[in-house]
Structure 1
Amino acid sequence: MTGMTTPPVSHFLPQDPTPRDRGFVMPPEWAPHAATWMSWPAGDELWFGHLAGVRDEFAELVRTIARFEPVHLLVRDPESERDARARLEGANVTYHHVPLDDVWIRDNGPIFVQRGGDLSLVNWRFNAWGGKFEWENDDRVPEYVAQFLGMPHWDRPEVLEGGGLEVNGAGVGLTTRSCFLTDTRNPDLTEEDYAALLRGTLGVDRLLWLDGGLENDHTDGHIDTITRFVDARTIVTSIAEDEHDANFPVMQQNLAALRGMTNLEGQPFRIVELPLPARRLEGAEGRLPPTYANFYIGNGFVVVPQYGDPNDARALEVLQPLFPGREVIGLPSREIIEGGGSFHCMTQQQPVGGAWSGE
């Protein structure tokens, strides 16, 4: 199937009233999906010569997701579409011709909000994690999605990436100071400012903060690389087992902080430890940040990155009991991690719901 080349015009909504004022909130990832949005990898230079292998792994990821729910796939040029179609023949995929800089749609894509059967989205600014890479094409993706869906939506002036925020569907959000409080995103916003912003836009009534993420993570420590909600009361958090690893003290500090956190009712969360890969991986620009916490939850499945590491099987064993009724699937991500991210970074869920009319 091919996506529309001239989507219907949508319109953005004034900042007031906010999504929350109109009854919209961001649902958790495990809520039912209508589809998953993804972007096809392109540009061998972005992958330090690993593009062919990256596309092999990415195609397996797309085919796996498409067995469970429709996939909307953005392709930036004719070569990308030809390559994708050849690898994904027969898969439940809709193709969209959209100019792209990179593949990380979790961060540059829209964040959907839901009100009963109505669906809308928030379009945040994207600046490639503080201006580290090209970003202007990727920053336009949410507007394309809104137009394709014919969906009135909110355009925000703040920079915010989807991988920097976790929500539990019961009013609680998780993020990191190392990411949100950088002076290259929103230098004037404090922790209190972010709490108010996310309450009004996404329905986060309590925003919880961890200090930092993985070594050499170009996102400045996205929460989705280290610590994830798997249900409203359960959090998995990454642990380094080698005391000499630079990640060890940061992950231990996060673990201690999580054990002291509570939900809106004052109840502690159930904290489950998830090992990081045992082997240190080096890439073209130094240490790579492989992690099993960058899994993606979909309709009846969870896909978990695997790196050919001794801890691959252990990670699946930890995660499987946390997702009753879902198939937990390990897929290779050794080539993909050369770009600095993995499966969650490459996906953006569209919850079930009809396009809100704006009324």
Structure 2
Amino acid sequence: MKIDPSFFFKGSLGKDPMHPADLGYFFPAEFHPHDATWLSWPHKEASWPGKINEIYPAYATFVAYLSRSELVNILVADERMQRLAEDRLATAGVVEERIRFHHFPTNDAWCRDHGPAFLIHPNPDMSKAIVDWGYNAWGDKYPPYDLDNLIPGKVALHLGIPCFRPGIVMEGGSVDFNGAGTLLTTEACLLHPNRNPHLSREQIESYLKAYYGVQQILWLKDGILGDDTDGHVDDLTRFVSKNKVLTVVESNKKDENYQALQDNLKLLESFRMLDGSALEIVALPMPAPVIYEGVRLPASYANFYIANSYVIVPTFRDAQDERALDIISACFPEREVVGVDSWDLIWGLGSFHCLSQQEPAAGVFPSKT
């Protein structure tokens, strides 16, 4: 079955009979092979007040690693911003032939949350597709966000692939996938009334299953201190294989994150996968609190990005940096795990995973169970 690539599927559950899951589409795990990574060039000074020029060396290093691994699509406002980006990247050793710029203006840099959510299909005759979730800057915290909200549709038109519009708010950093039917998220974020106050938990689950092509939702509780997204899972727990997760754990019982992370750990231990098996859980340390101008920042080693050849991990000039890298390396024997200083980036309240969105490759499909 072929779908007209110019067609945008709109509607809510019960009104739109053509949901991605009905057609066989699903959202693969991040460790599935990529065709590309999508980024939105950082330009909003208010996201890194007083520090935006200091973030570019680390950001350019991130792009350089990506370009050695896969195609990198970078969204910029115009030719002027493209030239500024090219100048920043030139000194970082990027593979220039793997960089593609697109003149799609954005309000901010957090492509994980406003970028295209790509779906794939086991049938080679079916193109990729995009889910264009609504985006409201984490509960209308940082307007304007009108340009960001247009990005998935623009990318779908550019690539000539179908685009599904559920009509509700959802962010890429709020969900994580094992690629075999299971989605991991948090109650603190997805059930927050500043996203979809008209929907119950059961209704949200129905949307996740219909548009991401999953069969099971696993719910953690709260996020870490300083996370302005209300508890994105990509700062907490990440699938590294079908039945295995890395999850951050705080060892200092006096730390404000300690109990919330213990509660999440107990939930992970209680979860069962679709085949009835328990999750394999690998504990990842937390860095010491990162505080800037009196504000505790959401520094977490879990905010790594899995590229084809590398796993790019934020580091925080902390005694736990090397231990965290060693633990993550053991989970990815076929990729090189690299640490990139995120001391300045985290002032924007996010790091490498928050800044990126993968475009999966077609052709290699894991079992759904």
Contact 2:128 2:162 in 1 (8 A): no
How far 1:246 moved relative to its partner?
0.6
How far 1:203 moved relative to its partner?
1.3
Q: Structure 2: how far apart are the matches of 1:211 and 1:168?
A: 19
Q: 1:314 aligns with which of 320, 323, 338?
A: 323
Contact 1:214 1:226 in 2 (8 A): yes
* Paired position in structure 2 for 1:13: 9
- Whether 1:252 aligns to 2:248 is no
Contact 1:241 1:248 in 2 (8 A): yes
Q: Structure 1: how far apart are the matches of 2:171 and 2:58?
A: 24
Contact 1:195 1:204 in 2 (8 A): no
* Paired position in structure 1 for 2:111: 105
- Larger deviation, residues 168-177 vs 193-202: 193-202
Q: Structure 2: how far apart are the matches of 1:50 and 1:95?
A: 24
Local SS of the residue matching 1:73? strand
Q: 2:247 aligns with which of 237, 249, 252?
A: 237
Q: Structure 2: how far apart are the matches of 1:46 and 1:165?
A: 23
* Paired position in structure 2 for 1:171: 181
- Whether 1:294 aligns to 2:303 is yes
Equivalent pairs, count: 345
* Paired position in structure 1 for 2:56: 55
Q: Deviations over 1:203-250 (max 9, x none)?
A: 111101011000121000000011100000101111111111110000
Q: Deviations over 1:167-200 (max 9, x none)?
A: 1011111100000011110012222112211111
Matched AA of 2:173? G
Q: Structure 1: how far apart are the matches of 2:142 and 2:130?
A: 25
Q: TM-score, normalised by structure 1?
A: 0.93
Local SS of the residue matching 2:21? coil
Matched AA of 1:238? V
Local SS of the residue matching 1:334? coil
Local SS of the residue matching 1:20? helix
Identity %, equivalent residues? 40
- Whether 1:343 aligns to 2:339 is no
Matched AA of 1:328? V
* Paired position in structure 2 for 1:22: 23
Q: TM-score, normalised by structure 2?
A: 0.91
- Whether 1:84 aligns to 2:88 is no
Q: Which 4+ stretches in 1 moved above 3 angstroms?
A: none
How far 1:141 moved relative to its partner?
0.6
* Paired position in structure 2 for 1:331: 340
Q: Structure 2: how far apart are the matches of 1:107 and 1:202?
A: 15
Contact 1:168 1:232 in 2 (8 A): yes
How far 1:285 moved relative to its partner?
6.8
Matched AA of 1:345? C
Contact 2:166 2:211 in 1 (8 A): no
Matched AA of 2:110? W
Contact 2:44 2:109 in 1 (8 A): no
Q: Structure 1: how far apart are the matches of 2:134 and 2:339?
A: 32
How far 1:281 moved relative to its partner?
1.4
Q: Structure 2: how far apart are the matches of 1:341 and 1:94?
A: 24
How far 1:45 moved relative to its partner?
2.8
Q: 2:313 aligns with which of 298, 301, 304?
A: 304
How far 1:78 moved relative to its partner?
4.2
Local SS of the residue matching 1:302? strand
Paired residues for 1:139-218 under 5 Å: 139-218=149-228
Local SS of the residue matching 1:95? strand
Matched AA of 2:284? L
Q: Structure 1: how far apart are the matches of 2:21 and 2:293?
A: 43
Paired residues for 1:255-274 under 5 Å: 255-274=265-284
Unpaired segments of 5 or more residues in structure 2? 11-15, 364-369
How far 1:82 moved relative to its partner?
1.7
Matched AA of 1:241? S
Q: Structure 1: how far apart are the matches of 2:225 and 2:253?
A: 14
Matched AA of 2:348? G
Q: Structure 2: how far apart are the matches of 1:263 and 1:46?
A: 38
- Larger deviation, residues 287-296 vs 50-59: 50-59
How far 1:284 moved relative to its partner?
4.4
* Paired position in structure 1 for 2:41: 40
How far 1:300 moved relative to its partner?
2.0
* Paired position in structure 2 for 1:4: none
Q: Structure 1: how far apart are the matches of 2:46 and 2:81?
A: 15
* Paired position in structure 2 for 1:223: 233
Matched AA of 2:7? H
RMSD: 1.4
Local SS of the residue matching 2:165? strand
Q: Deviations over 1:255-290 (max 9, x none)?
A: 011001010011100011000112x11234721010
* Paired position in structure 2 for 1:3: none
How far 1:147 moved relative to its partner?
1.1
